[in-house]
Amino acid sequence: MRLQLKYSLRTTTSDEMGREITLVSQGLDAMQRLGVNVEISRDAHVDVGAVIWNGTCIREGASVSAGTSIGRNAYLGPGVKIGKNCKIQNGALIYEPTTIGDGVFIGPSAIFTNDQYPRAILPDGTPKTEADWRKVGVTVNEGASVGAGAICVAPLILGRWCMIAAGSVVTNDVPPFALVAGVPARQIGWVGKYGAKLTETAEGFFVCPESGESYELTQEGLKPIHE
Q: Does 182 bind ligand COA (CB under 6 A)?
A: yes
Q: Does 181 bind ligand COA (CB under 6 A)?
A: yes
Q: Does 55 bind ligand COA (CB under 6 A)?
A: no
With beta carbons less than 8 A apart as the criterion, state whether 84 and 65 touch: yes
CB-nearer residue toward ligand COA: 56 or 168: 168
Q: Which of residues 113-152 bind ligand COA (CB under 6 A)?
A: 147-148
Out of 23, 166, 169, 217, the only residue in the binding site for ligand COA (CB under 6 A) is: 166
Cis peptide, bond prior to residue 118, ω within 30 of zero = no
Alpha-carbon distance of 139 to 22, in angstroms, equals 31
CA atoms within 13 A on the CB side of 153: 12
Residues pairing with 70 in the sheet: 52, 88
The count of chain residues that interact with ligand COA, using the rule CB under 6 A, is 11
Out of 86, 165, 178, 208, the only residue in the binding site for ligand COA (CB under 6 A) is: 165
1 class by beta-carbon count within 10 Å (0-12 exposed, 13-18 middle, 19+ buried): exposed
Q: Which stretch binds ligand COA (CB under 6 A): 6-14, 18-26, 67-75, 165-173?
A: 165-173
Residues that bind ligand COA (CB under 6 A): 107-108, 147-148, 165-167, 181-182, 188, 197
